[in-house]
Structure 1
């Protein structure tokens, strides 16, 4: 099972009214990761929880390989494959620009996509164009992944 993982708004929360806690990571950081000013907003306990989902994780983020240089060490994750986004601009409309490339990457395999920008248009398009099961789970960007999000993804994976 593939797990497409966004960073901004999904692992790295932003936009809440209250101040974010500054976490310290128990994992060793690279110089690149140690210098990132927002990294301490990411709860490092998310890493073990993501690993416990027992999925093949793939970065689905505009961070590209910087997610492996900064975020993966912060969370104690191994380097993950990275979706290489096409250079061509997405056609205007309600469909998210990531939707088609993620379905192409999945190549007919079941997948979970967690992101803070998923809409009903993305779900409908995936239902119509992807032959396997897919969960497009929208995360509240103000809080990032929460216990409720892990519960919903875990329940879907168990089904």
Structure 2
């Protein structure tokens, strides 16, 4: 079957559930069946692609416990949305989707309502000011956060959060170049972007994962 010939999935506004990191890799829906992931060998730094990944729980396990780079593909958008649901996190706030997203052909993503603070710097406490809001909203939910204004303190925070079992990836594009393919490769999202590009050429839209 050619993925490009699949019917366009519905675009649900349902809020994604938090992606938990399992202690064990599961081969089937029944727990405890099958060998441990050591049968794959050393996965450190290696890219693992799962077709029919569902909500991404097994990939999260391999990323956290075996240091692999996980790429999940699933044609069911509701399953993908449970693992990754893009939102704007910018001082443009509600204006981001109509003024920026529309020019890029993006869906109308939700936005985080950042507080309006009397800031003179974007790092008043040594880290990106948005982080306080992010921490409150996504207490135990894995994140891929793209911003060009992180500090070393932010990267330390992300590393500590990942160590506790909450996968946190910070992508920091060059502000003079913008978001590039290399940036997307760091998250594994470029495969999904290419997949979506192929569906767009046929007049279809697959927005399970947004890049």
State the TM-score, normalizing by the size of structure 1: 0.57
Select 1:105's aligned residue among 131, 137, 152.
137
Q: What's the Cα RMSD here? A: 2.9
Bigger radius of gyration: 2
1:136 equivalent in alignment to 2:170: yes
State the TM-score, normalizing by the size of structure 2: 0.44
Corresponding residue of 2:194: none
Query: C-alpha distance in 1, partners of 2:97/2:85?
Result: 15
Select 1:74's aligned residue among 97, 103, 106.
103
Q: Verify the 8 A CA contact 2:87 2:111 in the aligned structure 1.
A: yes
CA shift digits 1:102-148 (9 cap, x unpaired): 12222311011111101210122244457510001111000101111
Aligned residues: 106
Segment of structure 1 superposing worse, 57-66 or 118-127 = 118-127
Q: Tell me: higher relative CO, structure 1 or 2? Use CA pairs within 8 A at least 6 residues apart.
A: 1
Query: C-alpha distance in 2, partners of 1:70/1:117?
Result: 21
What's the CA shift for 1:89?
Answer: 5.4
SS class of match (1:101): helix
Query: C-alpha distance in 2, partners of 1:89/1:149?
Result: 31
Structure 1: any 5+ residue segments left out of the alignment?
3-52
Structure 2: any 5+ residue segments left out of the alignment?
1-15, 18-79, 192-211
